[in-house]
Chain A
């Protein structure tokens, strides 16, 4: 979620800048028959991934992200639509004839081969000369920091090392794109965070297009240049991490990425460029007017860390609503409050414990919640 990544991502990733996208999905549908019923795992996905981009497919399990990736790899054939790699239609091309490589969720290392042979497998299939194989395998093992472990068997390596062998085995072939299927899912938190940094470094070093499948929103936000948020076989939003977080396109995206408060109201009046929605007794939500008219129904999302808690009604031109604190959870660097509004909505608020850790409200307190207009985001606008 860092500023630099989101910023550069927006520029580098816009598909219009690269003449031919590395990967193109064109109206891709995947249907299969389960117990006599046709089920659509992917219901029409169209997207382009630029060469060199770090692209994530993010969504809950069963959203179709893995199926989408497997269609890019060639393990699943689309029921309809086309898959193009660098402009070439590969929809019917088997995986061994596609210039993409995959890092499997379970690593899928060859248990009967040592590290060197695992990494050399693809080069051997392509009949690369032995001297060249030695050189490239050596180089790649250096990049993933596994020099000296060439003779080890996969089962003699730790999870993180196996992960890096899987990465080296795919990257040594210099694929046009690397597909990663929840590659960090089996690692513990510390190692996962270290590997996130490591993956970004390796991607910068080799400059290969990365397509990253994950259900972990933090992973997607920290690493990606762009994210396609998928739900129920469709892409709900395709944007930079910052945009996905700050300006979710749908209520699903708002709810799936981070914690989000959804407030529903009707525009009462337009005040210049601001639309005003009354909420509860004396409360109001200010949101950018956009094209809205008085009487329009609007769903507004506001992130918990943008909200300030105060005992009295705040001054100034702010969104402000009244509620009762129902839960206070101390989280170390911050405190999380659950505040019930008069209308029944529950709002989550994060306050940094920057000062001396004194909570600003207790359970049962009647409080005001306020935030600046720019933090109200009307979904779909």
Chain B
């Protein structure tokens, strides 16, 4: 009985995952090689051409999503790092308050917050309107329906997922280690690049994983803040499933996206996820 206990403990969660993750995945994998339409039904024909067709048709959106995800992740690192650094080293007794503030947006729905960006950034909204009437901006200046708006929305929505892991890694850095670097003739900048930064790389690594994946597959920001030229692969998948009812193409796209991201992350982890990189960065 005692030997079975660990297995019994994972049973509820394991069952949950099996029923709600594995079963639909197998089902969708099967759908992705079927042919037919909603009215007459789909039949399994092992049509792997679904994959090549989808990829050929939506290559632009795939590349755009990867580009947005990459740009958003880089921006998120640059914005999140100083915030995490400040909370970890200067937060003092109020650290948990600041962390709560970082998490506060999550108390409001994701979609609602993105829609409120739409109001804020509208062509004659509360931000651009006054600037335009003051003559500081051209009358046809706009933010919505641009790449900037979509990437801005992505960064805004996923920033906390970058701040938290970086904060955790910085919080673990013993301040006396930084003093030791200063004592051993490192300048302030040198102590940062050779000691603090390498020690916080695991946090950046985790933050990148936690933001790049959802940013790349996001569709809400492109749908609300973007225009026809900003369509991401997530929007395409949504349209194929819910508008065109072309389940096989939607499924093929989803699996392609998954495969591409898994491969990318695996490569990323192989390159950055080892201690040698930390060491090289510190020299």
Contacts and interface: CB of A to CB of B under 8 A. Distances in A.
Contacts of A101: 183-184
A125 interface: yes
Contact of A111 (B177, B181, B186, B194): B177
Given A117-B279, A117-B282, A126 B185 contact: yes
Given A108-B176, A108-B177, A111-B177, A102 B183 contact: yes
Interface string A101-114: 11011101111111
Contacts of A108: 174, 176-177, 179-180
Contacts of B177: 108-111
A102 B184 CA distance: 9
B183 A112 contact: no
B99 interface: no
Interface in B177-210: 177, 179-187, 190, 194-195, 198-199
A95 interface: yes
Interface residues of B, number: 22
A94 B282 contact: no
B275 interface: yes
Contacts of B190: 96, 125
A109 B184 CA distance: 11
B70 interface: no
A283 interface: no
A95 B180 CA distance: 9
A96 B282 contact: no
Nearest to B201: A112
A110 B186 contact: no
A96 B174 contact: no
B187 A96 contact: yes
Nearest to A122: B184
A43 B272 CA distance: 51
A168 to B, nearest CB: 12
B184 A121 contact: yes
A125 B186 contact: yes
Contacts of B186: 96, 121, 125
A106 B174 CA distance: 9
Nearest to A94: B182
A121 B195 CA distance: 11
A125 B185 contact: yes
Nearest to A73: B183
B278 interface: yes
A54 B184 CA distance: 22
A90 to B, nearest CB: 13
Contacts of B183: 73-75, 95-96, 101-102, 170
B112 to A, nearest CB: 42
Contact of A106 (B176, B184, B198): B176
- Scoring A112, A124, A126 by chain B CB atoms within 10 A of each residue's CB, the highest score goes to A112
Given A95-B179, A124-B283, A110 B195 contact: yes
A256 B180 CA distance: 31
B22 to A, nearest CB: 39
A104 B199 contact: no
Contacts of B199: 111-112
Contacts of B174: 106, 108
Nearest to B202: A112
A169 interface: yes
B187 to A, nearest CB: 6
Nearest to B185: A125
B283 A104 contact: no
Contacts of A173: 184-185
B179 to A, nearest CB: 6
Nearest to B187: A96
Given A106-B174, A112-B278, A125-B190, A117 B180 contact: no
A172 to B, nearest CB: 10
A208 to B, nearest CB: 15
A111 B275 CA distance: 11
Interface string B258-271: 00000000000000
Contacts of A122: 184-185
Contact of A125 (B176, B179, B184, B278): B184
Nearest to A172: B184
B179 A104 contact: yes
A112 B179 contact: no
A174 B140 CA distance: 67
B132 to A, nearest CB: 48
A23 to B, nearest CB: 15
A102 B180 CA distance: 8
Interface of A: 73-75, 94-97, 101-102, 104-106, 108-114, 117, 121-122, 124-126, 169-170, 173
Given A95-B179, A110-B195, 6 more contacts: A75-B182, A101-B184, A108-B176, A112-B282, A121-B184, A124-B283
**4 tightest A-B contacts by CB?**
A122-B184, A125-B185, A108-B180, A108-B176
Interface of B: 174, 176-177, 179-187, 190, 194-195, 198-199, 275, 278-279, 282-283
